[in-house]
Amino acid sequence: MPASTAPASLSPPVVRFAPSPTGELHIGGARTALFNFLFARHHGGTFLLRIEDTDRARSTGAAIGAILDGLAWLGLEPDRPVVFQSERQARHAEVAHALLAQGGAYRCYLTAAEIEAARARQLAEGRSARLESPWRDRTDGPEDRPFAIRLRAPRDGETVVEDAVQGRIVFPNADLDDFVLLRSDGTPTYMLAVVVDDHDMGVTHVIRGDDHLPNTPRQLALIRALGWPVPTYAHLPMIHGADGTKLSKRHGAVGVAAYRDELGILPEALENHLLRLGWAHGDTEILSREEAIRLFDLGGVGRSPARFDLKKLESLNAHYLRAADDARLAALVAGRLEAGPGASLGADARRILLRSMAELKTRARNLNQLAESARPLLGPRPISMDAGAARLLDGRGREILGRARAVLEEVEPFERAGLEAAARALAGELGVGLGEVAGPIRAALTGTTASPSVFWILEILGRDEGLGRLQDAIGTMESTA
């Protein structure tokens, strides 16, 4: 009978995201975390986070911070406290020794040089480079020499993985090596740590990138040697860039933080795009988290690589910007505008910012565009003019502005439609186009020559601020009351 993975248990699943903290949280890792999270939520199960920091030389505190921060931003926090693999080394060693005592593993005294020589010999004889340690069958090891603990891996038959995404995959056991569980310095290997931690955390489904597929038969061999229940595996297809090659820095940012900080993407937009990377529900592009939880299952994950597409992400982002709460957007934009040195926003600017969001958010594809479109509205008075705006306020423009200010002051309520009607009436009276009235107003309000409707801007600024800016540009001492 070939060894195969067991059917999924009926109790609620337990899944984990298990990143190695050697850099920032990447798009691929975030997608793995999301799929684990949605799977857990869909089935009423538990989503766990394990930081695989056993490689002390490559793991950094900054990377751990970046992973936790990125997951929190995406709203993918684990249901229980984070497990740090490095804190579990004693347990890993204990399991290796227990397996040794049962005969499922053996003491191997080969030195690094002997291993090299054995590999070279095997290759020269035309055999595979899979190490065959003489210590597998020897019991006369020297007690006083350091030894590694190796798995006594099966050599006959095959290991079948019924992968929930990739389908049935058969691995001949002849390819399995007696891999090291515990190094001669007493430290556990990655292969041992993963298996022990998944078991101890009660993980029922291992959902991870398909770069881990080759590890699976080895991990299964260890699980079987230990007599532990076998989890269900689901290996997710790789992520490609829009050009169909493996996603890399060449395609732009690969770290989640860059999408937040540099590209101005909302977390729900990134989540929606990540969801569609390899998973589909018909042609539906836009799915809220609630819908995703309701619909997500491993059966909807395809086998072919998914494409990360910045254009698609930005169009999703435009959708989520329109749907977002104005106060939330105003706070995000304020944060971006204030990021520059000495650029703090006063109470008036904050009020204007908040009032402008409902309109401006309908035109932006990212938070940078949203911030740039708000910037000219925010003052402070007197507004600094660019050259084009200054030209519009020369001579005739200034004269028109004086007339415009007088008619606009009479408008009540101080709202877009009434303000525009008053300006139109004035243009008619002066025998000019509306643009000749609106241009100087725009220049006075924003210091620029391009902006959304000036009447909308006046309404957003409010009577005092709006008329005040016109007054500043006219430069007379008339009262604005």
Interface residue list for ligand GLU (CB under 6 A): 18-20, 52, 194, 208, 212
- CA 398 to CA 436: how far, in whole Å? 11
Shortest separation between residue 92's beta carbon and ligand GLU, angstroms:
14
Shortest separation between residue 212's beta carbon and ligand GLU, angstroms:
5
Shortest separation between residue 194's beta carbon and ligand GLU, angstroms:
5
Residue nearest to ligand GLU (CB): 208
Please state whether the peptide bond connecting residue 146 to the residue before it is cis, i.e. omega within 30 degrees of 0.
no
Please check whether residue 224 is in contact with residue 195, taking contact to mean a CB–CB distance below 8 angstroms.
Answer: no
- CA 289 to CA 294: how far, in whole Å? 9
Shortest separation between residue 17's beta carbon and ligand GLU, angstroms:
8
Shortest separation between residue 51's beta carbon and ligand GLU, angstroms:
9
Shortest separation between residue 18's beta carbon and ligand GLU, angstroms:
4
By annotation, the residues acting in catalysis are: 249
Of 18 and 196, CB closest to ligand GLU: 18
Q: Which amino acid is at 452?
A: P
Shortest separation between residue 16's beta carbon and ligand GLU, angstroms:
8
Of 52 and 163, CB closest to ligand GLU: 52
Of 52 and 178, CB closest to ligand GLU: 52
